[in-house]
Amino acid sequence: MENEENVGGENLTVMVEFILLGFSDFPRLEGFLFVLFLIIYMSILIGNGLIIFVTKTDPTLQTPMYFFIGNFSFLEICYTSVTMPRLLTNLWSQKRNISFLSCALQLTSFLVMGATECFLLAVMAYDRYVAICKALYYPIIMNHNTCIKLVIGSWISGIPLQIGQTYQIFSLPLCGSNKLNHIFCDIPPLLKLACGDTSVNEFSIYADVLILAMIPFLLILWSYSKILNTILKMPSATGRSKAFSTCSSHLIVIGLFFGSAIITYLRPKSIHSAEADKVLSLFYTIVTPMFNPIIYSLRNKDVIFALKKLLPR
C-alpha cells in the first residue's frame, strides 16, 4: 500500500507497507523451503538453547570461555528470531506484506544484533588470546566483573549507530514499487526503492561497516596471529593440538559470518544482485547460528562430557 505525492515535479511515494518477495520466483519450492527453514530454525533454537543450559548448570563449565559461548548462543537465538519467524510466515501463508513500522523495527533489531555479534566474536577472540598468551594472568584479567562488562559493552556499543542508520534509510524519499526483493527488511533492497542520489547513505553504510565490522575483524586477526605464534612455541604436542582445536572452531564461525556480511554491505549498490544478496544473507542469518552449536559441542570435549552427564536425566 502506498500514497503518492508530487513534489517539485517528481512523484514521491509515502510507503504504508512493503511486500517482501522472498522466494516468490520459485513458487513450487516454497513448501519445501518452509519445511527446510523450519527444521533449521528449530535446530538453532534447540542446539543453542542446549549450550546455554549446559554452560549455566555444569560446574566444570563455569569459566569465562563458556560464559561467552553461552551469551553467544543466546545472541544467535535472538538474531535468528528477528528474521526467521517472518520468513516462515510468508512461506506458509503467502501473505508477504510487512508494515512500514514493522520493517523499520526488524531492520533496527537485525543491525543492532549483527553489530553485537561482531563485538562479541572479538571479545571471544580476546579471551582466547589472554588464556593462551597470558595464561598466568588469565584469572586476574578475565575476572567475572570484566566478563560481564565486555558482554554488556558488546550489546550496547552498536545501538546508537544502528538506530541512526535505520533512521537515515527510512527518511529517504521512496518512489515506484513497494516490493522488496529480499527475505527480510535489509539495507540493499531498501536503497533500491529510494529516489535520487543515495551516495551519502552508501558512504554512511561503509563507515558503519568499517567501525562495527572491520575493526572487530582486525582485532580478531591480531588476537589469532598472537595465539598462533604462541601455539607454535609450545613444547607439548598435546597442548598445541588442544589449542588449535579450540581456536579453529572459533575461526570457522568468524569466517562464515564476517565473509558473507562484509561482501554484502561493502559491494557498490550498482553491482548488487537480489539473488546473490538472498543467498549471502542466509549465511550470516541462518547458517552461522545453525553451525554454532555443532562447532562448539562436537569439537569440544568439555561440552560433550557435560552433555553426556545430562543424558541419563
Average pLDDT over the chain, rounded to whole? Answer: 82
Q: Which residues pair with 18 in a beta bridge?
A: 98
Strands in the chain per DSSP E: 2-7, 10-15, 17-20, 97-99, 179-180
**In whole angstroms, what is the distance from residue 26 CA to residue 258 CA?**
28
Banded pLDDT at 8 (limits 50, 70, 90): very low
Least-confidence region, from 131-135, 184-188, 252-256? 252-256
Per-residue model confidence as pLDDT tens digits over 74-94:
999 999 999 999 889 888 887
pLDDT confidence of residue 116: 92
Highest mean pLDDT among 28-32, 135-139, 266-270: 135-139
Q: Which three cell numbers mark 71? A: 551469551
pLDDT above 50 for 132: yes
Amino acid sitting at position 288: T
**In whole angstroms, what is the distance from residue 135 CA to residue 121 CA?**
20
Selection from 207, 202, 184 nearest residue 282 by Cα: 184
pLDDT confidence of residue 312: 61
Specify whether the CB–CB gap between 18 and 105 falls below 8 A.
no
pLDDT confidence of residue 123: 93
Domain ranges of the chain: 2-310
- Range 37-44, long-range pairs (CB < 8 A, 24+ positions): 37/84, 37/87, 37/88, 37/91, 37/286, 38/88, 40/286, 40/290, 41/80, 41/84, 41/85, 41/88, 41/286, 43/290, 43/293, 44/76, 44/77, 44/80, 44/84, 44/286, 44/289, 44/290, 44/293
CA 289, 290, 296: angle at the middle one, nearest 5? 80
Banded pLDDT at 13 (limits 50, 70, 90): low
Per-residue model confidence as pLDDT tens digits over 17-57:
788 887 777 778 888 889 999 999 999 998 899 889 888 88
Q: Is 99 helix (H, G, I), strand (E, B) or coil?
A: strand
pLDDT above 80 for 158: yes
pLDDT above 70 for 7: no
Least-confidence region, from 75-89, 146-160, 277-291? 277-291
Amino acid sitting at position 15: M
> Distance from CA of residue 6 to its chain's centroid?
39
Q: Which three cell numbers mark 241? A: 593440538
pLDDT confidence of residue 120: 92
The length of the chain is 313
pLDDT confidence of residue 151: 94
pLDDT above 80 for 272: no
* DSSP assignment of 227-277: HHHHHHT-S-HHHHHHHHHHHHHHHHHHHHHHHHHHHHHHS-GGG--HHHH
| Mean pLDDT computed over 289-312 | 76
CA 214, 228, 293: angle at the middle one, nearest 5? 65
pLDDT confidence of residue 311: 67
Of residues 211 and 277, more confidence is placed in: 211
Least-confidence region, from 39-48, 97-106, 189-198, 269-278? 269-278
pLDDT above 70 for 280: yes
pLDDT confidence of residue 191: 84
Q: Which residues contact 268 (CB under 8 A, 6 or more apart)?
A: 202
Domain at 2-310: CATH code: 1.20.1070.10
Least-confidence region, from 14-18, 47-51, 280-284? 14-18
